[in-house]
Amino acid sequence: MEKLYTARASATGGRSGHVKSETGVLDIEVRTPESLGGPKGDYLNPEILFAGGYAACFDNALLMILNKEKIKSTTTTTAEVHLVNNDGAYGLDITLEVEMPGVEKDKAEELVNQAHQVCPYSNATRGNVDVTLVVK
């Protein structure tokens, strides 16, 4: 397998700590969500970071499919990442909501399914994380 790009980041302090990329472009404090016993307020956490990465990656895969099919449309992908308790082990449950104005719903669903086959995040989660695809 040919490596095309490598990102490297380090975390200290777990969910109530600090995350920094090797290049320094990502340099943030993270906190446990309030619903899990963390402090009040809006803070970044691993699920928000994962949701942002998955949404951007999936939307790019979808744009690649649209370009290949010569379909003109804008796209918006929203990732909803749920931290779930699975009999004492933690896991994720994900919903990807896609908006594709001007594309008929059946065709949009076909394109979204194609994107789901090529997106690196989808390939990484397939078989061990429930991912629901929704075309709005």
**Whether residues 123 and 63 fall in one domain:** yes
The pLDDT assigned to 15 comes to 95
The pLDDT assigned to 123 comes to 98
The pLDDT assigned to 99 comes to 98
| CA pair distance 81, 113, nearest whole angstrom | 19
The helix (H) or strand (E) run that includes residue 58 is helix 46-68
CB 38 within 8 A of CB 53: no
**Whether residues 51 and 114 fall in one domain:** yes
The pLDDT assigned to 38 comes to 94
The pLDDT assigned to 107 comes to 98
The helix (H) or strand (E) run that includes residue 19 is strand 18-21
Range of the structural domain that residue 61 is part of = 47-135
The pLDDT assigned to 90 comes to 93
The pLDDT assigned to 125 comes to 97
Residues of the chain falling short of pLDDT 70: none
The pLDDT assigned to 86 comes to 87
Total count of domains within the chain: 2
CA end-to-end span of the chain:
36
**Whether residues 6 and 25 fall in one domain:** yes
Sheet containing 130-135, strands listed edge to edge, beginning at the edge strand earlier in sequence: 76-86, 89-99, 130-135
**Considering the entire predicted model, what is its pTM?**
0.95
